[in-house]
Structure 1
Amino acid sequence: MGLALKDTQHHCYSDYLTWPDGVRYELIDGIAYAMSPAPDLAHQDVVGEIYLQVRLALQGKPCRAFIAPVDVRLPKQDEADERVDTVVQPDVMVVCDSSKLDRRGIRGAPDWVVEVLSPSTSGHDQIKKRTIYERHGVREYWLIHPIDRVLTVYRLVNAEYGKPEIYELRGETRVNVLPDIVIQWDDLAARLPVDY
């Protein structure tokens, strides 16, 4: 099951800014996808724990960690913000180039993106967003599967994501493009509900 579409029109960031705050959307190549309702508690626990570990690892360093919702505008070329037709809100991201940060959020690809999969967004994150992140140059993309307790890692090599690496959520995993960050899994995995 895919995410609901707002409509069949082509939208840009200028449209996106006029929509009411009550419903969140992501734009992918001009198509507006309604974000699912608030994620469940286990999803939020995973997102919060990763953000906490990353934030602590980056203290005193130039890279910055962010947690959703933050608009990430991904221009195709050098078009003005109002014409950008891809705006996403990754669960956790790190940006090392401060020139990409402004009051509206992030313009350009983060260095590292983490998406925590939920049943309602799984296909969207694994297919549509993976393609967008690859095209725009996200250097490393992590998909966390809390139900299966599995991590899928895509790394950009020669402008493409090759074959993903798959890990269990145990022990630790180093972020290849940000070697200061090592995610510890054991305490987090122990907190995840068995039936999640």
Structure 2
Amino acid sequence: MAPPHENNSLTYAEYLKLDEEVQYEVIDGRIYNMSPSPNVKHQSIAMELSTEFNVYLRNKSCRVLAEVDVCLCEEEDLTKVNEWVKPDIVIVCDEDKIHKSRIVGAPDLIVEILSKSTAKTDRMIKFHRYQRAGVKEYWIVDPAHETIDAYVLENELYKHNGTYTNDEVIEVRIFDDLSIDLKNVFREEFEK
């Protein structure tokens, strides 16, 4: 199957048939190319955050997953699914939403790590789409400034819960007893 163009429509069933190394997201009918791969600092931050979440969630019912397809609607027929995203990190506490190759429905927490090519999409388009889908908590990580903007869903709208810097501790609002020291997340410099 030929790669799609931004103006074409694409169902999730068609996407799964693509023989491309290129990955796509579709939001509100628009196709977003997810290439190129994230840089080393982006990957390091994702790994450190995932580690913090994994240690806390061990032997609990919630799961942390990275770069998995998320179909925000709860449609089971893949030929009718015409919107999905691939966040950097998701936490899902309803195991019925976890399918073999994707998440079906809104995760409890989504983390997006900005890059030059995704910043506008993450800050605006995905922000509003995650809010509309009912994602309880949304973090936008800025690797260049080593900050995290945290948003919590209240009355169907995101409330800015704060901007946290590399020397602060961030509370994970979907859990009563999880805080992450951001010195452990933003711990390395990659200048080479």
Fold-level match, TM-score > 0.5? yes
Counterpart in 1 of 2:72?
Answer: 74
Match for residue 185 of structure 1 among 156, 178, 182: 182
CA-to-partner distance for each residue in 1:149-189, whole Å, 9 max, x for gaps? 11111111111113452121223211101234322211332
Which digits, 9 at most, give the CA deviation of each residue in 1:40-90, with x for residues without a partner?
Answer: 10000000000011001001110000011x110111x65633212211111
The secondary structure found in structure 1 opposite 2:64 is: strand
Q: What is the CA-CA distance between 1:120 and the residue it aligns to?
A: 1.4
Q: After superposition, where does 1:42-191 map in structure 2 within 5 Å?
A: 42-68=41-67, 70-75=68-73, 78=75, 80-163=77-160, 165-191=162-188
Q: 2:11 aligned with 1:12, yes or no?
A: yes
CA contact (8 A) 2:108 2:174 kept: yes
| 1:102-147 Cα deviation digits (max 9, x unpaired) | 1122000000000111111111111111111011010000001111
Amino acid at match of 1:153: A
Once the two structures are overlaid, the 10-residue window that deviates more, 12-21 or 24-33, is 12-21
Partner of 2:31: 32
CA distance in 2, matches of 1:163, 1:61: 27
Letter in 2 for 1:6: H
1 or 2 for the larger relative contact order (CA 8 Å, sep ≥6)?
1
Kindly, what percent of the aligned residue pairs are identical? Answer: 33
Q: Closer, same or farther in 2 for the Cα pair 1:19/1:183, shift >3 Å?
A: same
- Deviation of the 1:29 alpha carbon: 1.8
Task: Give, in angstroms, the shift of residue 10 of structure 1.
Answer: 2.1
Runs of 4+ in 1 over 4 A off after TM superposition: none
Residue-pair matches, total: 189
CA distance in 2, matches of 1:121, 1:49: 20
AA partner of residue 34 (structure 1): N
Could you tell me which amino acid in structure 2 is paired with residue 10 of structure 1? S
- 8 A Cα contact 1:137 1:156, kept in partner: yes
The answer to whether the 8 A contact 1:12-1:30 is kept is no
Q: How far apart, CA to CA, are the structure 2 residues paired with 1:187 and 1:165? A: 19
TM-score under structure 2 length normalisation: 0.91
- Asked whether the 8 Å contact 1:6–1:34 carries over to 2, the reply is no
TM-score (norm: length of structure 1): 0.89
Contact 1:36 1:121 in 2 (8 A): no
Secondary structure class of the residue paired with 1:178: coil
Q: CA deviation at 1:100?
A: 0.4
State the secondary structure of the residue aligned to 2:25. Answer: strand
Letter in 1 for 2:145: D
Unaligned runs of 5+ in 2: none
